C-alpha cells in the first residue's frame, strides 16, 4: 500500500538518460554543464510525473550535509518565552530550507549530552543552544565540534567556547530605557521590585537582572535621582510582587512609580495597589519587562519592554545558517566574524500604566 518512493534512477530511466544526468538537471547545474535543453525538459517532466522527491538521507550521506539544525534548550518552566523562540527559530530555518530537531534538557547535563549525540548522529549541520533565563553556563563539548550559536547564554569556562557566536538581549540598554521613560515623564519617587540595589547581588536571574539594574541606575544617577527602595525577590512571580509592593505601601514611603523586573512581579504589584485603593497610573506608574501575554490584559494595560524572543531566535538561526554556509565553525582558527556577540534590543510596548507627571 505504501507506494514506495520514486528514486532518481527511475526518473532517469523514464526520461531516457543516465542517473547522473538527471541528478545534474535536478540540482540545477544543467546549464553550467551544458546539458541539452531537451534532456533537461524530459528529466523535469519525468520527475514531475512520477512525483519524484530526492531522498534527503541519501544525499546527506553522500554530501555530509543535511540542511538540518538542532535546537536544544534547558528550561521547562517559563515556557511562554521559550515557545516563541523555538517557533521563530523554526520559521527562520524553514525560510532558508532547513528543518529543525528540537530537544529539551530540563537542565539535566546527561540528557543534554544524549540529545546532542542523537542530533550529531543524525548529522545536523549546526546547533542552537538556548536557555530561557539568560545566564552563564558551561558549553558542552559537542557544541565545539560543529557550528553552534548560543541563544540567551553567556558561556563560562574556556575550551574555545568563548568564541562561539552569541545572541543576547540588550538588558543594559533596556534598563536605561526603562529608567529614562520614568524620568522623562516626571517620576522622582521610584521603587524597584525584584532586585536589591546592589548589582553584585542581583540574584536570581543573575545576568539579566544585574545588567538591567546597572542600566537603570546609570540613568537615574545621571539624573540625580535616588531609588527610594529596591526590593529583592527570590522568585519573580506575582505573589512576590504582591508581597513586596504591599510592603512598600505599608512603609508609607513616597512612591510615584514602580520599576518591576518582570511582568509577573508587575501583576502582583497591580493586585497590591488595587487592594490598597491606589490607582495605576494616577497614583503609581508601573513599568516592567517581558511583555508576557497577559501584560496587555491587565487593567490598565501594562507598559513593558518586550523580551525579544522572536528577534533573538531569528537572529541566532540566521547567524547559524550563515556560519554553516560559509563553511566555518567554532573549531576553525576563525579569522572571521567568529565569536561575535549580537545584542538585541527590548522594544517598548507602551500601554497605559505610566502617567505623565512632567
Q: Mask 63-92, x = binds DNA (CB under 7 A)?
A: x-----------------------------
In the chain, where does DSSP find H-type helix? 8-15, 19-26, 37-50, 56-63, 79-95, 109-121, 171-184, 206-222, 238-251, 263-276, 309-326
* Closer residue to its own copies (CB): 53 or 326: 53
20 binds DNA (CB under 7 A): yes
Site string for its own copies, 252-281 (x = CB under 8 A): ------------x--xx--x--xx------
Looking only at residues 25 through 64 of this chain, which bind DNA when binding is defined by CB under 7 A? Answer: 26-27, 33-36, 38-39, 52, 54-55, 58-59, 61-63
Cβ 63 to DNA shortest distance, Å = 5
Per CB under 8 A, 314 contacts its own copies? no
Q: Which of 1, 2, 3, 4 binds DNA (CB under 7 A)?
A: 4
Handedness of CA 174, 178, 183, 185 (dihedral sign): positive
Taking every pair of C-alpha atoms in the chain, what is the biggest distance, in angstroms? 89
CB of 299 to its own copies, least distance (A): 5
| CB neighbour burial string for 30-44, b if at least 16 within 10 angstroms, e if fewer | beeeebeeebbebbb
CA 288 to chain centre: 19
> What dihedral do alpha carbons 177, 179, 181, 182 form, nearest 10°?
170
**Span from 94-102, 170-178, 248-256, 343-351 in contact with its own copies (CB under 8 A):** 94-102
**Which range, of 11-19, 107-115, 149-157, 231-239, touches DNA by CB under 7 A?**
11-19
Site for DNA (CB under 7 A): which residue of 14, 17, 182, 193? Answer: 17
Rounded Cα distance, 154 and 164, in Å: 10
Of 7-15, 91-99, 106-114, 229-237, the window that binds DNA (rule: CB under 7 A) is 7-15
Q: Match 495597589 to its residue by C-alpha cell.
A: 273
C-beta of 189 vs 310, nearer to its own copies: 310
Q: Is 55 in the site for its own copies (CB under 8 A)?
A: yes
Instruction: Tell me whether the omega of the peptide bond preceding residue 300 falls within 30 degrees of 0, making it cis.
Output: yes
Decide if 236 contacts 289 (C-beta within 8 A): no
Q: At what angle do helices 206-222 and 171-184 cross, to 10 degrees?
A: 40
The binder of 187, among its own copies, DNA, none, by C-beta within 5 to 8 A per type, is none
Taking the complex as a whole, how short is the minimal distance between the CB of residue 271 and its own copies, in angstroms? Answer: 5
Q: Which does 2 bind (CB under 5 to 8 A by kind): its own copies, DNA, none?
A: its own copies
Contacts 24+ apart (CB under 8 A), 269-275: 269/193, 269/241, 269/242, 269/244, 269/245, 270/298, 270/302, 271/238, 271/241, 271/242, 272/241, 272/242, 272/243, 272/245, 272/246, 273/245, 273/249
d(CA 258, CA 245): 9
Residues 31-50, mask of contacts with its own copies (x by CB under 8 A): --------------------
**Is residue 225 close enough to count as binding its own copies by CB under 8 A?**
no
> Are residues 260 and 269 in contact, defined by beta-carbon separation less than 8 angstroms?
yes
Closest to 113 in 3D by CA, of 138, 150, 88: 138
Binding site for DNA (CB under 7 A): 4-5, 7-9, 16-21, 23-24, 26-27, 33-36, 38-39, 52, 54-55, 58-59, 61-63
Binding site for its own copies (CB under 8 A): 1-3, 53-58, 60-61, 66, 68, 76, 79-80, 82-84, 86-87, 90-91, 94, 99-104, 111, 115, 117-123, 145-146, 237-239, 242, 264, 267-268, 271, 274-275, 293-294, 297, 299, 329, 331-333
Amino acid at each position: 500500500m505504501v507506494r514506495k518512493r520514486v528514486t532518481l534512477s527511475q526518473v532517469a530511466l523514464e526520461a531516457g538518460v543516465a542517473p547522473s544526468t538527471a541528478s545534474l538537471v535536478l540540482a540545477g547545474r544543467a546549464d553550467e554543464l551544458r546539458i541539452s535543453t531537451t534532456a533537461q525538459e524530459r528529466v523535469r517532466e519525468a520527475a514531475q510525473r512520477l512525483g519524484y522527491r530526492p531522498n534527503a538521507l541519501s544525499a546527506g550521506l553522500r554530501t555530509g550535509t543535511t540542511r538540518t539544525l538542532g535546537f536544544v534548550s534547558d528550561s521547562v518552566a517559563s515556557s511562554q518565552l521559550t515557545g516563541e523562540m523555538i517557533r521563530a527559530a523554526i520559521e527562520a530555518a524553514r525560510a532558508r530550507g532547513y528543518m529543525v530537531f528540537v530537544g529539551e534538557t530540563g537542565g539535566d547535563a546527561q540528557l543534554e549530552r544524549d540529545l546532542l549525540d542523537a542530533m550529531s548522529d543524525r548529522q545536523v549541520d549546526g546547533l542552537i543552544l538556548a536557555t530561557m533565563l539568560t545566564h552563564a553556563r558551561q558549553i558542552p563539548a559537542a557544541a565545539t565540534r560543529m557550528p553552534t550559536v548560543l541563544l540567551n547564554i553567556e558561556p563560562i569556562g574556556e575550551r574555545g567556547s568563548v568564541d562561539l557566536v552569541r545572541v543576547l538581549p540588550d538588558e543594559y540598554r533596556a534598563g536605561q530605557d526603562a529608567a529614562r521613560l520614568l524620568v522623562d515623564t516626571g517620576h522622582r519617587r521610584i521603587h524597584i521590585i525584584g532586585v536589591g540595589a546592589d548589582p553584585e547581588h542581583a540574584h536570581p536571574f543573575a545576568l539579566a537582572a544585574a545588567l538591567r539594574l546597572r542600566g537603570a541606575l546609570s540613568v537615574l544617577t545621571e539624573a540625580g535621582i535616588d531609588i527610594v527602595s529596591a526590593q529583592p525577590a527570590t522568585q519573580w512571580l506575582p505573589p512576590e510582587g504582591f508581597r513586596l509592593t504591599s510592603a512598600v505601601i505599608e512603609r508609607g514611603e513616597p512612591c510615584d512609580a514602580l520599576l518591576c523586573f518582570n511582568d509577573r512581579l508587575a501583576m502582583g504589584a497591580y493586585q497590591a495597589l488595587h487592594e490598597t485603593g491606589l490607582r495605576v497610573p494616577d497614583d503609581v506608574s508601573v513599568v516592567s519587562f517581558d511583555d508576557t501575554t497577559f501584560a496587555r490584559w491587565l487593567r490598565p494595560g501594562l507598559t513593558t519592554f518586550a523580551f525579544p524572543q522572536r528577534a533573538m531566535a531569528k537572529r541566532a538561526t540566521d547567524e547559524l545558517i550563515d556560519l554553516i554556509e560559509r563553511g566555518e565553525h567554532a573549531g576553525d582558527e576563525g579569522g572571521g566574524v567568529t565569536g561575535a556577540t549580537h545584542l538585541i534590543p527590548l522594544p517598548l510596548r507602551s500601554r497605559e500604566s505610566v502617567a505623565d507627571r512632567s
